[in-house]
Structure formats: C-alpha cells, structure tokens
Amino acid sequence: MNVYDSARMADVLAPLGYGLVDEAAAADMIILNTCHIREKAAEKVYSDLGRVRQLKAAKEKTGGRMIVAVAGCVAQAEGAEILARAPFVDMVFGPQTYHRLPEMVARAHRSGDKVLDTDFPTEPKFDFLPGQASPARAAGAGAAFLTVQEGCDKFCTFCVVPYTRGAEYSRPVAGVVAEAERLAALGAREITLLGQNVNNYHGDGPGGGAWGLGRLIAEIAGIDGVERIRYTTSYPADMDDELIAAHRDVAKLMPFLHLPAQSGSDRVLKAMNRRHTADDYRRLAERLRRARPDIGLASDFIVGFPGETEADFADTLGLIDDVGFVQAYSFKYSPRPGTPAAAIADQIADPVKDERLALLQEKINVRQRAFNRDCVGRVMAVLFDRAGRAPGQLVGRSPYMQAVHADAPATALGTIRRLRVTAGLANSLAGELVADAAAGERGSA
C-alpha cells in the first residue's frame, strides 16, 4: 500500500512541477514514506533521516533548497516527535492526509513553517486525489496497485494498523472503476486491489447500496485491457460467499490468495483477537478449493506470540500440513509499542522463537519447493514486469506470484506471455517462451 501511496503522492505533486529523480542528492524534495509494521520502525526512520540530513546540508551549501518530509504510518505514530528529534524535517504527515500535499508544500515554501498533519480527516482523501496518473504510475510495466479499502477495525492485539491507518473505509465503486480504467489505458494488464481488510470492502455502488469485493472484481474484469486481478490482504472471517464464487466465476481473478492465518492454535488466535478458529480456516480453504480447484493459498504466521506453548506451536504446524500452503511469510513475534500484546507478561524467549521459526520455515519451504518442482513442464501465463540480471532476460510473475526468469525480447516487458516452465527452483521458476501468442487463458493453464 505504501507503493500505491507513494505513486499517488507523485500524482498530487506533478501539477506543482515535481517529477521523480534517480539520485536523492539531486532532489528538491525527499519524502520518506514509512511503514510501521516492521520491527523498530521508528529507529530505522531516524537512522535514514541522518543520511537525508547530510544530503540537505550539501544542497544548501551550494545555494539549493530541499524539502524533507516524513510520511506514512511512522509519521502518524511519532508526529511532533519527529520534528523535535530531526529539526531539519519540514513536513510530517500521515497516510490519510497526503492529498493536502500542495498546501503543505506551499506552507513550507512560503513561510518556512514546519508542517505537521496527522489528522484522520472526515473528508476521504480519494475525493481529492487527481484523476490523472503521473508518469510514475505509468511506468509500472504492466502491473498496478489500486487501493479500494483502507484502515482496520479488527484490532488484532499484535498490530499497529488500526492506530496508524484509522478506521475502515471503502472507496465508492465508481471511483475505483474509473481508476482501474485509467490504469488499463496506461498499460496495466494486472491490477492488484489493495486494502488492509480488502475483503471487507463495502463501497457505495452506482445505484445505491453497498457492493462487496466479489461484485467489484466482476466489474473490473469487464474493463478492456485488464487481464489479471488480484486482491490483498484478506481477513479470513470476512471471506463471503460472493467473493468465493468470484474465484469460480471470474477467469481473470488469479488462482492465488494470500489469506493470513497467523496461527493454528485456537488459544493463540483468541489471544490475538482473531475472529476465526483453526477449523474455520480449514473449512474456508476447502470452500475456496471447491470453487477454484487449482487455487494456491498463502499465509502469514507469527511464531512465539506471548503465551504460545509447544502444543500451540504444534497446532500451527498441523494447520500448515492440513492446508498445504504454497507460500508463507513467517515472523517471530516482536512487540509493537502501544499494542495490547506488548503488555502481556508471558513473552517467549528469543531462542525459543528462533527454533520455532526455523522449524516452521523448513516446513513451508519443503512445500514451496515441491510446488515449484510440480510446475515444471506446465505452460503458464507470465506477466513480464522487469528486466533480468542477464542480458536478454526478463523476469515476470506466474499466476501464483512465483518469479519466472526467461529469455525474452524487451518488447515483452509489460505483457503477458505463455511460457513453458523448464526448472522449479527454491524461490523462482525458469521458463521458455511458447509460440508468440499473448496468453489470455484461465490463469495457470
């Protein structure tokens, strides 16, 4: 979502004459768009700011001017503290106010005032963002993000998002569809719909009444040029029948779903304030597979949540065995200041967390390697989205989000091509182009 927000900031700033530069030292403005999810997020931002301070000082020495801004969730959480600890920073603003960038820049320029804007405004920022996309967004080589929902009311006890991104908000359907059409016209073949709780999308429909995500996906699938649709990140308890049916009925919806389980222990899930049990998750996985038999499921797991016992951890490994994830992100629990879980007394010792994480990752890796190997010989539709390291090579994404390397002409960048998979490696695939027809088949072929 920060990638999307950064692109939208570029859209907002383009009419003021700002464009992207390759070297930070050459910039008239540097915006650090920060994420609060990672561990010690604030300290990392202050350390980055140390480097930015030197760039600003060097620019001023030659008579230039540089505006320094901190945006995003660390800005939201730290607020005025950033201006106190890093007085050379000109602007601090949270994820919900960047549509006000033109006035902030004007204030910073006009009076040299420090700008602090960490409101959760009543006006949705999307109403104020420009209709036109700046060249920054057009450069996405065939894939684009589109935020349809923001914020979260779930308050999982380990998570800062409800405090930094604010309450759940869904954009109206018309604005989302218009943006998807613009992205398709700019060359986006794949659109990933974003939201912290994207599957709880309930945007106002054109004829009144709220639309769910399944209906929105079907609408976007009707846009010329859009060949692939994904959505992330989903909350298991919010998967409704309409969305599951979309996996059956909408061929452009990719057969891959990131659906974070977090744990396989009901006791831990309860302590996390998740609203599903391990069996709920198993049933959900079955329903999704009935709707789309070739779907690949991915998850996030937190190991070493406060109070997690060996038996709890064994339940998580059991869930992994039962569901058969094709990919997972796994993390050691680490406390986030201000969240309820950080205050739980029964924190797990680091060596225990390390051991559990290694076991869990090995289990996931075995499965991921087997899945990649099973892809060998298959013909897949791959969206080439970047140049490879070797000359003449491009890298793309399979329907299952695997990185795929292949020799391909530069003209294939930003297009979907059919590839035969020739090797399944630990973290990627290798393939060769099949004929020259663009792939329009159902996802995984």
Kindly indicate which of the ranges 59-67, 151-159, 283-291, 306-314 contains the residues binding ligand SF4, using the contact rule CB under 6 A.
Answer: 151-159
Residue 388 beta carbon to ligand SF4: minimum distance, rounded to whole angstroms? 34
According to CB under 6 A, which one of 71, 92, 133, 159 is a site residue for ligand SF4? 159
Cis peptide bond upstream of 118, omega within 30: no
Q: Is residue 162 at the binding interface for ligand SF4, with CB under 6 A as the rule?
A: yes
> Which residue carries 């059991």 as its tokens?
318
Of 162 and 214, the one with the shorter C-beta distance to ligand SF4 is 162
Report phi then psi at 121, rounded to 5.
-65, 155
Binders of ligand SF4 among 194-213, rule CB under 6 A? 196-197
Could you tell me what percentage of the chain is helix, strand and coil, using 3-state DSSP and rounding each to the nearest 5?
40, 20, 40
Q: Is residue 155 at the binding interface for ligand SF4, with CB under 6 A as the rule?
A: yes
How far is the CA of 55 from the CAs of 48, 61, 68, 85, 228, in angstroms? 11, 10, 10, 17, 41
Indicate left, alpha or beta for 146 from its phi (over 0: left) and psi (-120 to 50: alpha). Answer: beta
- How far is residue 440's CA from residue 248's CA, in Å, rounded to a whole number? 17
Counting every residue written for the chain, the total comes to: 445
Helix residue spans in 35-146 (DSSP H): 41-61, 72-78, 80-85, 101-111, 135-138
Kindly indicate which of the ranges 130-138, 157-165, 344-352, 423-431 contains the residues binding ligand SF4, using the contact rule CB under 6 A.
Answer: 157-165
Of 93 and 158, the one with the shorter C-beta distance to ligand SF4 is 158
Q: Is residue 161 at the binding interface for ligand SF4, with CB under 6 A as the rule?
A: yes
Q: Is residue 171 at the binding interface for ligand SF4, with CB under 6 A as the rule?
A: no
Of 267 and 442, the one with the shorter C-beta distance to ligand SF4 is 267
- Burial annotation 82-94 (CB, 10 A radius, 16+ → b, else e): bbeebeebbbbbb
Q: Is residue 256 at the binding interface for ligand SF4, with CB under 6 A as the rule?
A: no
Of 155 and 329, the one with the shorter C-beta distance to ligand SF4 is 155
Reading the block at residue 62, the tokens are 């030659």
Kindly indicate which of the ranges 90-98, 152-160, 374-382, 422-430 contains the residues binding ligand SF4, using the contact rule CB under 6 A.
Answer: 152-160
Of 154 and 258, the one with the shorter C-beta distance to ligand SF4 is 154
List of residues contacting ligand SF4 (CB under 6 A): 152, 154-156, 159, 161-162, 196-197, 235
